[in-house]
Amino acid sequence: MPELQRLRADHAPALLAFERENRAFFAASIPDRGDDYFAHFEARHAALLAEQATGACHFHVLVAPTGEILGRFNLVDVADGSAALGFRMAEKATGQGLATTTVLQLCTLAATEYALTTLRAAATLTNTASRAVLTRTGFTPTGEDILLNGQPGTGYVRDLTRARESGGSTGREQWT
């Protein structure tokens, strides 16, 4: 069973392999990272870990039992109890419910470990898979029309306090 892990220095080789192997797949629905990302990967990885140490963000990877990275799940721009969620899955890991399960797990971490109360997300209108994951995990459209790298998209929000206040599940999330 894959495990959600907080990003560490020793994830770098597997993370670089994940990004390289899925570059064309990702570029079909989200903007490409560009050649510079790959050329300076080690420095970028170190910078992300330094940023994570400040508490301004929380980076995670979904790791298969083999050590292969199947996805990235990030909480960025952490401030005032809120953060923005971003995620991407390896092509071979899609369609298995892993993104939905992992986003639910990250919502739990966000509320319990990081003391967040609200998560925001966005997806292009053409990225139906991400939009479906957000809807299945309790995110609701904000009604805000946004541009993501020049492509029309939709903003989403999720209140993380509902289940905590009621002492249980709202029926749309798993608090494990």
**Bridge partners, residue 82, by sequence:** 79, 118
Please give the Cα distance from 150 to 158 (Å, whole number): 24
Residue 84 placed within a domain: yes
Distances (CA, A) of 77 to 26, 145, 175: 22, 20, 24
User: Quick one: how many helices (H) and strands (E) in the chain?
Assistant: 7, 7
Residue 67 placed within a domain: yes
Residue 176 placed within a domain: no
Minimum mean pLDDT range among 4-8, 14-18, 98-102, 159-163:
159-163
3-class SS shares of the chain: helix, strand, coil, % to 5: 40, 30, 30
Residue 102 placed within a domain: yes
CATH number at residue 10: 3.40.630.30
Say if strands 118-124 and 82-89 run parallel, antiparallel, or are unpaired: parallel
Q: What angle do CA 104, 75, 116 make, to 5 degrees?
A: 75
Segment 33-84, tens digit of pLDDT: 889 999 999 999 999 999 999 999 999 999 999 999 999 999 999 999 999 9
- The structure's pTM equals 0.89
What is the number of structural domains in the chain?
A: 1
Q: Which long-range CB contacts under 8 A does 91-98 form with residues at least 24 apart?
A: 91/22, 91/25, 93/2, 93/62, 94/129, 98/2, 98/62, 98/70, 98/71
Q: What does the pLDDT read at residue 148?
A: 86
Q: What does the pLDDT read at residue 28?
A: 81
Residue 92 placed within a domain: yes
Segment 74-128, tens digit of pLDDT: 999 999 999 999 999 999 999 999 999 999 999 999 999 999 999 999 998 988 9
DSSP letters spanning 60-112: EEEE-TTS-EEEEEEEEEEETTEEEEEEEE-GGGTTSSHHHHHHHHHHHHHHH
pLDDT at residue 173 tops 60: no
Domain that holds residue 15: 3-166
CB 18 within 8 A of CB 69: yes
